[in-house]
Amino acid sequence: MPRCYLARMLNIILSTIATVALALMTVVSQITVAAAQTKPKIISIAEARALPLGTIVTIEGSITVPSGAFKSSFNDEGFVIQDMSNGIYVSVHTNLNLVIHQRVRVTGKLAETNAQFRIVEAEASAIEVRGRGQEVKPKVVPTGKVNEQTLGQLVKVTGTISNPVVSIAPFGFRLAVNDGTGEVVVYVSTSTRITQESLQQGRRISVTGIGGQFKGQYQIFPRFPADIKLLPKAKVTRRA
């Protein structure tokens, strides 16, 4: 077989290999670009809360309210997550049995309940557990400072029950607490298993819960019985 023929065949083979290799590189590059474009960008919860309703967002944070704690009021199996910037309620219809301190990533749509409470609506498949998250400690605030800045965040107040408990069966009940800086409503969902026992007007208590809102009124939503603690009456110092 002439050498020139072998040389031509070798060139053809090498050229074919180069063409195939280039095509494969192009395909891989396109796949990489497509994957980068479809990968959701994670933003802070504070950024997400500021976006228009209907926006699809991807957020990540630690669980501060376990799955279904507010089911009797929200009629879902939702939970609350919080990051370093803020917190938000995630509405989902499947009970994922999420517990406090777990870290999750959520992709969902910003929405607002009829009570003007901002949430993220998500499918169970769009919620990913990412191991253990940072412990979120409640922010201690005066009762009169539960406001727009505390929405979605874990807070704690201490004060005196200023009004009789109001039953809102079967959803829950509410009471008001005041430390002298202004009254705040504490709304308790039946599904938290917190009872009205011992919560009489004039009783001093501490309440830990999520800063929320109902038709323009700022409230605190406790999560479970340990969130409401009975306290001794404040000591009155008499002047001589």
Domains of the chain (ranges, CATH numbers): 45-132 (2.40.50.200), 139-230 (2.40.50.140)
Q: Is the pLDDT of residue 34 over 80?
A: no
If phi > 0 it is left, if psi is from -120 to 50 it is alpha, else beta; for residue 162 that is: alpha
Q: Tell me if 109 sits within 8 A of 92, measured CB to CB.
A: no
- Flag whether pLDDT at 234 surpasses 90: no
Residues in Cβ contact with 89 at an 8 Å cutoff, skipping those fewer than 6 apart: 65, 70, 74, 78, 79, 80, 117, 118, 119, 120, 152, 210
Q: What is the pTM of this model?
A: 0.81
Question: What Cα–Cα distance (Å) separates residue 208 from each residue in 65, 103, 142, 183?
Answer: 11, 20, 12, 15
Span 82-97, average pLDDT: 96
For residue 57, what is the enclosing H or E element?
A: strand 56-65
- Mind listing the pLDDT tens digit for each residue in 145-191? 999 999 999 999 999 999 999 999 999 999 999 999 999 999 999 99
* C-alpha dihedral, 122 to 128 to 133 to 137, nearest 10°: 10
User: Which residues neighbour 154 within 8 Å (Cβ) at sequence distance 6 or greater?
Assistant: 64, 82, 87, 136, 137, 138, 139, 208, 209, 210, 211
Signed CA dihedral, 43, 49, 50, 52: sign only: positive
Mean of pLDDT values over 75-79? 96
Give yes or no for a contact between 171 and 194, defined as CB atoms under 8 angstroms apart.
Answer: no
Beta bridge partners of 68: none
The torsion of the CA quartet 122, 128, 131, 133, rounded to 10 degrees, works out to -30
